[in-house]
Amino acid sequence: MSIRRRIFLRVIAACLALSPVLWGCNRSNNVPANHAGSTAHTGSVVPQNPQNSSNAQQGSVDVAMITLHDVASAYRADPVAAARHAVSWKLSNGQVGDGVHANVKYSFTLGNLGAVVLQVPGTSQTYYIVACEAKAGTRWSCTGFASCPVAPWTTPNGLPSPYSGLDTCTMTASNGTTYHVFDDAKTIIFLGTAKLSPGALPPGRTVNLDGGRKAVEVPQGENAVLYAVDNGRLLFAAGNLPASELERVFSAMAPSL
């Protein structure tokens, strides 16, 4: 086993221990939640935040409750609109908000999958809610949600410098797509794997990775999405960093996905 793979497996083990709660968008039930586990229900959930721990600073503001909603078909033609209308929250100071009025920190799509990162306003620390998305026909739907309060990350996450200190978590959506999310207040990086589906992948520029491997780079706004096919699996990388930097990250990490 290569050194990179051993490092990445240790990182994933740490991520699973700290992985955020996932919720698929299917029904409307109240479900218990902590910051490690998964469920396939919509409804109101209580995320585990520093606010809920004995180490929380007095007066800090975090997300006390997240409510996930079924999304009307009128909003499902666009993945960002679908994510915005699927989530609302209540802060620990009593203020309420929803995704419609939240800042979209980052979003990407790749064929029939994607993700939307909503930044919750008014919290003491940077707080993201990550929505996993999938498209059937022309309609987008939620395949999972994760609550992601950004905390200092002191253990190297396996990414090349200068991204080795990003906070990190791992989540698996209801369609089996796995997302590894690395983030801080400025940077969002996604690495993931998905089952290769019959849906057409977008064309793009072929780029060379380490070890003679190749990937396809697809421009997306000011950034890019990278993907490669490996033994029937789709490997992908996305993020709000320059395409050349995303290539460097994907080149280093793709063998371990």
**What's the pLDDT band for 43 if we cut at 50, 70, 90?**
low
CA dist 180 and 29 (Å) reads 27
In tens, the pLDDT along 169-217 reads: 888 888 899 999 999 999 999 999 999 887 779 999 999 998 889 999 9
State residue 255 phi and psi, 5-degree precision: -60, -20
In tens, the pLDDT along 74-107 reads: 999 999 999 999 999 999 999 999 999 999 999 9
What's the pLDDT score for residue 12? 34
Domain edges within the chain: 3-51+60-256
- On the CB side of 33, CA atoms within 13 Å amount to 30
Using alpha carbons, select from 181, 95, 176, 178 the residue that is nearest to residue 130. Answer: 181
Q: What is the mean pLDDT of the segment spanning 28-35? A: 28
In tens, the pLDDT along 223-249 reads: 999 999 998 899 999 999 999 999 999
Q: What is the C-alpha R_g of the chain?
A: 18
